[in-house]
Amino acid sequence: MARIVMFWLLQFVWMLSLCCSAFNSQDYTDALAKSILFFEGQRSGKLPSNQRLAWRGDSALSDGTPEHVDLVGGYYDAGDNVKFGLPMAFTTTMLAWSVIEFGSAMQGEIQNARAAIRWSTDYLLKAATATPGTLYVQVGDPNVDHKCWERPEDMDTARNVYKVSTKNPGSDVAAEMSAALAAGSIAFKDSDPSYSSKLLQTAMKVFDFADKYRGSYSDSLGSVVCPFYCSYSGYHDELLWGASWLHKASQNHSYLAYIQSNGHTLGADDDDFSFSWDDKRVGTKILLSKVFLAPKNILQNITSFHLINMFYLNFLQNFLDTNAEQFQLYKIHSDNFICSLIPGSSGLQAQYTAGGLLYKATESNLQYVTSTAFLLLTYAKYLKSDTGNVHCGTSTFTRDNLISLAKKQVDYVLGENPNKMSYMVGFGKRYPEHVHHRGSSLPSKRAHADPIACNDGFRFLYSGLPNPNILVGAILGGPDNRDSFADDRNNYQQSEPATYINAPFVGALAFFAGAPATPISH
């Protein structure tokens, strides 16, 4: 009886959160624009004439020189000046996925979103094609970089170049790069078909490299990628993730066959409850669940509208008969992930703060919040034409419940929290002012033309003054498990932004920016 009462109480809370939100579509549209603008603050290389964050300048214009290749461009991952390949590729995949699923709701921001993707895919193309049998995966030694506090425009540390090869493989980073290029090809399919084709062809080659020469990049590059971006989950998840994106991008059945043949050994049977730059298992299950749901939905629509083309109908029915068991597995695991998140579910594993924030880690917790919100909304979209339900033991949750939970997380980030603080810089009336970010915390070149040397910048790190340059749209690591947040530049666990925190949030914000103003019915 107590469980039933709790279930209906949670239903009421969800409904209340929808009808009484502190934010409207204009707020979400504003946040969406800012979340994309943030990526301009992370740009490396020669900045374009339409650069909007004017306090940033050109930087790292000689990247790749030690290897006699052009590796100029791409993104700095967070508050430092290193270009890490694994999180950059994941960021790119998530930006592209945001456009693929919710681009139609981005309206005037779609061009900026594509520009953010392209800044990275242009770089990844160079990294993947500069030298045969080699993939460039990092520029800059973090152990040296982290000993300095200097603007990217002033960098005087060595820009070492790191790569994986046939002899020193990196299936994790290579397969993620393949996923990024494949997802990017879908994002540009209509707007730039030629570029889209180039991305897809390169993605296929990079995936072949990742699959043929198997190994983790942490094994050969551990001294410079660990503990920063070690491949803790191994490379199996990236191989399945990469193949899934190539199937979606190419519709080549060889990738479907690869998934069917290799899925069980690459993690298809595993339940997992977090999604990040390191672990792609949950994201892959959500992505592949559509392979099961889409033909089923089309079949239902054809039958319900009596638009029966017998050849097409037989083809779809045969697809379902042949692939149902394999791909229903991904639907089941996706449901299990959802059940692990929803309060009141018998499968609940997630922890929430008293203020309602999903909490998984002491460091950069909001990366899990933004990625989870994106997956909730994407899965809700996939369920739209199906039954729309997720079964968790004896409880049933609708797609609207998923949307409600995602909305609560999005709204928390934007300021509907115990601190009444937005964790997106530049959004709302109150937001963090002491961001752990070199370029933002140091005077810009326009304000201070002379170089600021490696050690001279630390006085700005330790200063109690607000950052002189506003890194608009940056989402920081976020509060602790008690909803407490120290607006302290030295507390990087809470105050450092990262591209992979923002990327999935772009899609989540686009969803709510395009959502109807009226409450969702239950």
Predicted pLDDT of residue 2: 45
How confident is the model over 372-382, as a mean pLDDT? 97
Q: What confidence category does residue 324 fall into, taking pLDDT thresholds of 50, 70 and 90?
A: low
Burial state string for 168-177 with b = 16 or more CB within 10 A and e = fewer than 16? ebbbbbbbbb
Give residue 493's Cα distance to chain centre: 19
Choosing from 58, 192, 483, 487, the catalytic residue is 487
**pLDDT band of 8, cuts 50, 70, 90:** very low
For range 419-427, the mean pLDDT? 98
Considering only residues 294 and 23, tell me which one the structure prediction assigns the higher pLDDT: 23
d(CA 301, CA 308): 10
Query: Which pLDDT does position 129 carry in this prediction?
Result: 96
Nearest CA-CA partner of 442 in 489, 378, 397: 489
SS3 204: helix
Question: How does the average pLDDT of the chain come out, rounded?
Answer: 90
Residues composing the chain:
522
Quick one: which of 507, 424, 419, 421 has its CA closest to 471?
424
Contact by Cβ (8 Å): 369, 357: yes
Q: Is the pLDDT of residue 504 over 90?
A: yes
DSSP 21-47: -S--HHHHHHHHHHHHHHHHHTB-BSP
Q: What is the DSSP letter of 109?
A: G
Q: Is the pLDDT of residue 70 over 70?
A: yes
* 6-10, 111-115, 167-171: the lowest-pLDDT one: 6-10
pLDDT over 80 at 309, yes or no: no
Domain limits of the chain? 22-513
pLDDT of residue 374: 98
- 347 contact partners, CB below 8 Å, separation of at least 6: 336, 339, 340, 392, 393
- In this prediction, residues 123-141 reach a mean pLDDT of 97
Question: Does the structure show a pLDDT above 70 at 84?
Answer: yes
| Structural contact between residues 237 and 268, judged by C-beta atoms closer than 8 angstroms | no
Max alpha carbon distance in the chain (Å)? 74
- Spatial neighbors of 13 by CB under 8 A, at least 6 apart, are none
Q: 185-202: b or e for each residue (b if 16 or more CB lie within 10 Å)?
A: bbbbbeeeeebbebbbeb
* 354 band by pLDDT with thresholds 50, 70 and 90: very high
pLDDT score recorded for residue 325: 62
Which position has the higher pLDDT, 184 or 300? 184
* Between 310 and 76, the higher pLDDT residue: 76
Query: Does the active-site annotation cover 496?
Result: yes
Q: Please, which pLDDT band fits residue 515 given cuts at 50, 70 and 90? A: confident
> Is residue 127 scored above 90 in pLDDT?
yes
CATH code matching the domain that covers 22-513, chosen among 3.40.50.1010, 1.50.10.10, 2.60.40.10, 3.90.1150.10: 1.50.10.10
- Per-residue model confidence (pLDDT) at position 268: 87
Question: Minimal CA–CA distance to 91: which of 176, 159, 15?
Answer: 176
> 139 has which bridge partners?
83, 161
The whole-number pLDDT of residue 323 equals: 59
Distances in Å between the Cα of 465 and the Cα atoms of 130, 150, 429, 488 are 44, 17, 18, 10
Confidence of residue 271 (pLDDT cuts 50, 70, 90): confident
Is residue 17 over pLDDT 50?
A: no
* DSSP-derived secondary structure letter, 466: P
Per the annotation, the verdict on 325 as an active-site residue is no
Comparing 75-79, 248-252, 326-330, 470-474, the range with the smallest average pLDDT is: 326-330
Instruction: Provide the percentage of residues in the chain whose pLDDT is more than 90.
Output: 83
- For residue 501, give Cα distances in angstroms to 194, 259, 276, 309: 30, 28, 9, 45
236 pLDDT higher than 90: yes
Q: Are 345 and 392 in contact (CB under 8 A)?
A: yes
Question: Using 50, 70 and 90 to split pLDDT, how confident is the model at 310?
Answer: low
Min mean pLDDT across 7-16, 39-48, 338-347 is at 7-16
Of the residues 436, 450, 456, 488, only one is catalytic, namely 436
Mean pLDDT of 354-366: 97
Please determine, for residue 159, whether its predicted confidence score (pLDDT) is greater than 60: yes
Query: Is the per-residue pLDDT at 386 higher than 70?
Result: no
Number of H helices, E strands in the chain: 18, 7
Q: With cut-offs at 50, 70 and 90, classify the pLDDT of residue 267.
A: confident
pLDDT over 90 (residue 23): yes
User: Is 436 among the residues known to form the active site?
Assistant: yes
| Cross-strand partners of 164 | 135
Mutual orientation of helices 217-225 and 171-187 as an angle, nearest 10°?
90
pLDDT exceeds 70 at position 391: yes
